[in-house]
Structure 1
Amino acid sequence: MTFDRKDKDNATLLNLYLRLLYPRMVEEKMLILLRQGRIGKWFSGIGQEAIAVGSTLAMHNEEYILPMHRNLGVFTSRNIPLTKLMAQWQGKVTGFTKGRDRSFHFGTQEHRIIGMISHLGPQMALADGIALADLIEKKKQATLVFTGEGATSEGDFHEAINVAAVWNLPVIFLIENNGYGLSTPINEQFKCKNLVDKAIGYGIEGFQVDGNNILEVYDLINQVATSMRENPKPVLIECLTFRMRGHEEASGTKYVPQELFEEWAAKDPVRNFEQYLQEQQVLTIESIAEIKTRFKSQIEQDVENAFNEDEPEVNTEVELEDMYFPYVSTTIPATKAATEMRYLDAISDGLKVAMQKHKNLVLMGQDIAEYGGAFKITDGFVQEFGKARVRNTPICESAIVGAALGLSINGCKAMMEMQFADFATCGFNQIVNNLAKTHYRWGEKADVVVRMPTGAGTGAGPFHSQSNEAWFTKTPGLKVVYPAFPQDAKGLLLASIEDPNPVIYFEHKYLYRSLSGPVPQGFYTFEIGKANVLKQGEQFCIITYGLGVHWALSYLSENPDHSATLVDLRSLQPWDREAVANAVKTTGRVLILHEDTLSSGFGAELAAWISEHCFEYLDAPVMRCASSDTAIPMSKVLEDDFLAKSRLQDTVKRLLAY
């Protein structure tokens, strides 16, 4: 291994050595603790320290780094105390996640580090959003995100780099090519000779570097970061290294040929750099021994201090509260006159008001800029707010949801438009595992709204008509709203944007141009989680939301002899238990109506809650009226038969006849 110090003085070289040695000695201590049974799991980065340490020291302290689970050197080089890290690894209350997550699955704004989730690839899109926020704020900063050679096979890898390339984002995508994804060798993971060659396909620069040579890593990252701060654009870097331990210690290494260990042991980044510094007369045998003795004593003390930290105390109420960033949703009354607006225009007006109020709000989605979106909701927004804040995206839902979270982490608000709610499947992991769990895991808000054009009635078939709100109402950490009227659409959208928690905002496509109503001008909000009781009656109650509200209104208008209470939930997570309970107590008979399919639709949750909490007030079984348990057909006659509306009259008759 050849080192070139260039213009680095002895103090700089010594600091690089100290930073390199420390995580190695911490890791060696972890392996001892593992054999002693004092810890249960460890993902070793022994042999790869030069990548984490060299790249971190090349970045500015205020720049974000998004590491993986073998990058201990990132955390130690950013001066996170070992006691704090050890508390995290051991699930202590003083850890970054209060015992809720393990390893490096956490973030810390203080140290500008955003940890991974177990799905690996999704963190790359977060780097896009972080860098985009810097770009919009005209900060000359770079963002560094790590991934492994195995994760380059994931779609998130492609999506994140493609978005960064198209948007010229200052992101360093660093691949640690360590030879194996758990037990799968690289020849079974990809066909190309070098992973760096993938850069060509994205039209960006790519570099390959000896990942075990700390000076080469440091110099390359420093060069690339310095350049992109002045000339923002992404770069792909492949660091060649080797995993000297198992995927995690329990996995072992029997699948690795012995000659590979011998080859890479000769390239050990710590031992080789140590020998070089002796040749350069920066270190001596005596100084090395003194340093290691000092580090060993410090590590021993910090580890034991962490073991003595408190375990988490069980408090279910706190656990529930911590799923969400602290925020009280309230109603802010309208102060200006109302004008007649279509449902679609109310949403557009709400977005415009929010963009005017929040200069850090960024809108993203397919075709939303000059074209104005598939439904023209953002028509004219580019002219008023500019392309920096109204952004067309490639067709890559996962990357854009991730970028939205990255924007939030770096101080922005974000709204991402799914072109159709059906397409949320392509961003599902980011929504339910990143947006939903971020605050619970490490206390960071996810200030993101995902708009979901939803529902049937337009003959659009199985992939443009689904009512998929139940996928999200069961995910703790998300809020879900579903307005039925233009006034509610604007007020709830503004409330969603004000809320620093992730909100899934359903808007019914059939109502876009078919429904109009009075909508106050200017800024106002409705409380998320507060239902609207549209009618009061005594025979039975209908609990519904979305298009179901209009089916119910139409039915009751055609049957004026019925005395019914009609509850429009408006919000599904949280939902208004008090309003539902009052409706049940008043009428004794309950019909739950929704457009989603019957089995496991949100109505099942409502029915179960009513049976459990309001049983003594019921005069009949809770009945559900929902759509068929099939995919949604395109044919108009088949679609009409599919929808719950076709069964509403019969369901009411059964309820009243019981």
Structure 2
Amino acid sequence: MIFDRKNLDDNALIAIYKKLLYPRVVEEKMLILLRQGRIGKWFSGIGQEAIAVGAALAMHPDEYILPMHRNLGVFTTRGVPFNRLMGQWTGKASGFTKGRDRSFHFGTQEHKIIGMISHLGPQMALADGIALADVLSKNKKATLVFTGEGGTSEGDFHEAVNIAAVWNLPVIFLIENNAYALSTPTHEQYRAKKLVDKAIGYGIEGRQLNGNNILEMYYAISEIAHSIRQRPRPVLVECKTFRIRGHEEASGTKYVPPELIAEWQDRDPVRSFENYLISQGALRPEWIPFLRDEILKEIDPVIDKVLMEKDIRPNVFTELGDVYKPFTRPSFKLSPKSQVIRYIDALRDGLLLSMERYPNLVLMGQDIAEYGGVFKVTENFHEFFGKERVRNTPLCESGVIGAAMGLSLNGYKAVVEMQFADFVSSGFTQVVNNLAKTHYRWGQNVDVVIRMPTGAGTAGGPFHSQSNEAWFTKTPGLKVVYPAFPADAKGLMMSAIADPNPVMYFEHKYLYRNLTGEVPDGEIFVEIGKARVVKKGTQATIIAYGYAVHWALEYLSNHPELSIEIIDLRSLQPWDCATVMASVKKTNRALVLHEDTLTSGFGAEVAATISEKCFKELAAPVMRCASLDTPVPMDKGLESQFLGKSRLEKVMQQLLAY
């Protein structure tokens, strides 16, 4: 291995060596503790330290790094306190996630590190959003994100690199090619001779580095980072290295030829650099055990102290309280003036006012700029706010949602338009694992709203008409709203954008231009989680949301002889249990009505809660009316039969006659 010290003096070389040695000594200690059963799982980065340490040294302290589970050197080089790392690894309250996650699955804004989740690919798109925030703020900064050679097989890799290339984002995509993804060798992972060649397909630069050479890593990443700070663009870097130990310690290395391990042990980054420093006269052999002992003297007392810390005492209120970041609606003065406008115009008004209120708000989606989106909700927005803040995106839902989260991590707010709610399935991991779980895991807010044009009634068929709100109402950490009226569409939009938690905002396509209503001028913030009694009654309660509220109103217009109370939930997560229970206790009968399919629809949760809390007051079983348990058909007649509206009359007769 050839080292080039360039202009580094002996003291600088020794300083780098200490940074390289530190994670090695810590890891060796962790392996001892693992064998002793004093810690749980461990993902060893032994043999790969030069990548993490060299790259971290090259980045400015205020630039974000997104490492993986074998990059202890990033955390130690950035100066993350060892007691907090130890607390994290042992599940203590002193860790970053309060025992809720393990290993390096956390972030720390203080040290500008955003940790991974177990789904290896999604973090790359977060780097795009972080870098985009720097570009919009005119900060000359670079962002560094790690992945492995196995991660390059995931669609998230393609989406993230493609977005960065199209938008000229200053991101270094660093691939640690350590030869095996768990037990899968590279020849079963990809056909390219070099992973760095993938850069050609994206029209970006690529560099292949010796990942075991600490000086090569340091100088190359320094040079790349300096360049993209001045001229923003992504660069793909492949670092050749080897994973000496198993994917994690329990998996072992029996699948690796022994001669291959021996070959790479000869290229050990710590030992190779030690030999170089000795040859340069910068390091004496007798200093090495002394330096190792100094590290052990530092970490051993910390380890003992953390292991003696009390176990976390479970507290239900604490756990539930940390799922969402606390939020209070902004204060506002309700305008005495109002006008009758369409549902779609109320949405537009809420978005426009929010764009004016929050200069750090960015809208993203396919065709939302000049074209105005497929439903024209954002038509002409780019003329008011520019294409930097009203951004057309490539067709890649996962990458765009991840970029939205990255924007939030770096001080921005984001609204993402799904062209159709159905298409969010392509970004499912980002929504339910990244957006939803981040605040609970390490206290980071995620200011992202995902607009979901939803619902049937337009002969859109199985892939443009689904009511998929139940996919998200069962995912803790997400808020879900579904307005039925123009005023609520505006007010919930403004509240969703103001809220620091991720919000799935469902808006029914059929209502866009077929429903009008009186909407206050100016700002209005409707409380998320608060239902509205649309019509009072005494004989029964219909609990509905979205388009189904209008089915209920139509039913009552056809039956003026009935006194039926109608509740519009407006929010599904959280939902207003108190208002529903109060109504049912008054009317003694309940029907839950929604457009989604019957089985496991959100109405099942409402019905179960009513049965539990109002059993003694019920004069009839709680009934549900929903759509058939089939995909949404395209033919108008089939679609009408599918929708729960076609069975509402019959179900209401059964409820009232019981």
Contact persistence 1:482–1:506 (CA under 8 A): yes
For residues 535 and 348 of structure 2, the distance between their equivalents in structure 1, rounded to whole angstroms, comes to 28
For residues 333 and 419 of structure 2, the distance between their equivalents in structure 1, rounded to whole angstroms, comes to 31
Q: Which segment drifts farther, 291-300 or 161-170?
A: 291-300
Note the 1:48-127 alignment, pairs <5 A: 48-127=48-127
Q: Cα distance 1:366–1:336, how it changes in 2: closer, same or farther (>3 A)? A: farther
Helix, strand or coil for the counterpart of 2:286?
A: helix
For residues 34 and 568 of structure 1, the distance between their equivalents in structure 2, rounded to whole angstroms, comes to 54
Aligned to 1:535: 535
For residues 574 and 440 of structure 1, the distance between their equivalents in structure 2, rounded to whole angstroms, comes to 16
For residues 329 and 379 of structure 2, the distance between their equivalents in structure 1, rounded to whole angstroms, comes to 29
Helix, strand or coil for the counterpart of 1:596?
A: strand
The CA deviation at 1:331 is: 7.4
The CA deviation at 1:332 is: 4.0
The CA deviation at 1:544 is: 0.1
Aligned to 2:387: 387
Contact persistence 2:199–2:206 (CA under 8 A): yes
The CA deviation at 1:296 is: 1.7
Q: Cα distance 1:159–1:336, how it changes in 2: closer, same or farther (>3 A)? A: farther
Note the 1:333-372 alignment, pairs <5 A: 333-372=333-372
Note the 1:448-463 alignment, pairs <5 A: 448-463=448-463
For residues 519 and 610 of structure 2, the distance between their equivalents in structure 1, rounded to whole angstroms, comes to 33
RMSD: 0.8
Contact persistence 1:105–1:116 (CA under 8 A): yes
The CA deviation at 1:329 is: 3.9
Residue 633 (structure 1) aligned with residue 639 (structure 2): no
Q: Which segment drifts farther, 188-197 or 333-342?
A: 333-342
Letter in 2 for 1:24: R
Question: CA offsets, 1:575-608, max 9 Å, x none?
Answer: 1111101110111010110000000000000000
Letter in 2 for 1:221: I
For residues 330 and 269 of structure 1, the distance between their equivalents in structure 2, rounded to whole angstroms, comes to 54
Q: Cα distance 1:277–1:336, how it changes in 2: closer, same or farther (>3 A)? A: farther
Helix, strand or coil for the counterpart of 2:364?
A: strand
Note the 1:27-42 alignment, pairs <5 A: 27-42=27-42
The CA deviation at 1:333 is: 4.8
Which residues of structure 1 form unaligned runs of 5+? none
The CA deviation at 1:14 is: 1.1
Aligned to 1:268: 268
Aligned to 2:441: 441
Contact persistence 2:473–2:573 (CA under 8 A): yes
The CA deviation at 1:310 is: 2.7
Aligned to 2:397: 397
Which residues of structure 2 form unaligned runs of 5+? none
Aligned to 2:302: 302
Contact persistence 1:331–1:527 (CA under 8 A): no
Contact persistence 1:330–1:528 (CA under 8 A): no
The CA deviation at 1:452 is: 0.2
Helix, strand or coil for the counterpart of 1:110?
A: helix
Helix, strand or coil for the counterpart of 1:5?
A: coil
Note the 1:173-572 alignment, pairs <5 A: 173-329=173-329, 332-572=332-572
For residues 434 and 43 of structure 1, the distance between their equivalents in structure 2, rounded to whole angstroms, comes to 21
Contact persistence 1:331–1:524 (CA under 8 A): no
For residues 287 and 339 of structure 2, the distance between their equivalents in structure 1, rounded to whole angstroms, comes to 79
The CA deviation at 1:278 is: 1.0
Question: CA offsets, 1:56-84, max 9 Å, x none?
Answer: 00000000000000000000000112111
Helix, strand or coil for the counterpart of 1:209?
A: strand
For residues 290 and 387 of structure 1, the distance between their equivalents in structure 2, rounded to whole angstroms, comes to 58
Question: CA offsets, 1:600-625, max 9 Å, x none?
Answer: 00000000000001111100000000
Letter in 2 for 1:202: Y
For residues 534 and 238 of structure 1, the distance between their equivalents in structure 2, rounded to whole angstroms, comes to 60
Letter in 2 for 1:420: F
The CA deviation at 1:288 is: 2.1
For residues 195 and 321 of structure 1, the distance between their equivalents in structure 2, rounded to whole angstroms, comes to 44
Contact persistence 1:196–1:206 (CA under 8 A): yes
The CA deviation at 1:548 is: 0.4
Residue 608 (structure 1) aligned with residue 601 (structure 2): no
TM-score normalised by the chain length of structure 1: 0.99
The CA deviation at 1:328 is: 2.7
The CA deviation at 1:330 is: 6.8
Q: Cα distance 1:332–1:470, how it changes in 2: closer, same or farther (>3 A)? A: farther
For residues 496 and 43 of structure 2, the distance between their equivalents in structure 1, rounded to whole angstroms, comes to 39
For residues 297 and 233 of structure 2, the distance between their equivalents in structure 1, rounded to whole angstroms, comes to 44
Aligned to 1:643: 643
TM-score normalised by the chain length of structure 2: 0.99
Aligned to 1:589: 589
Question: CA offsets, 1:268-305, max 9 Å, x none?
Answer: 00001011111111111232232111112112122112
For residues 227 and 331 of structure 1, the distance between their equivalents in structure 2, rounded to whole angstroms, comes to 45
The CA deviation at 1:571 is: 0.4
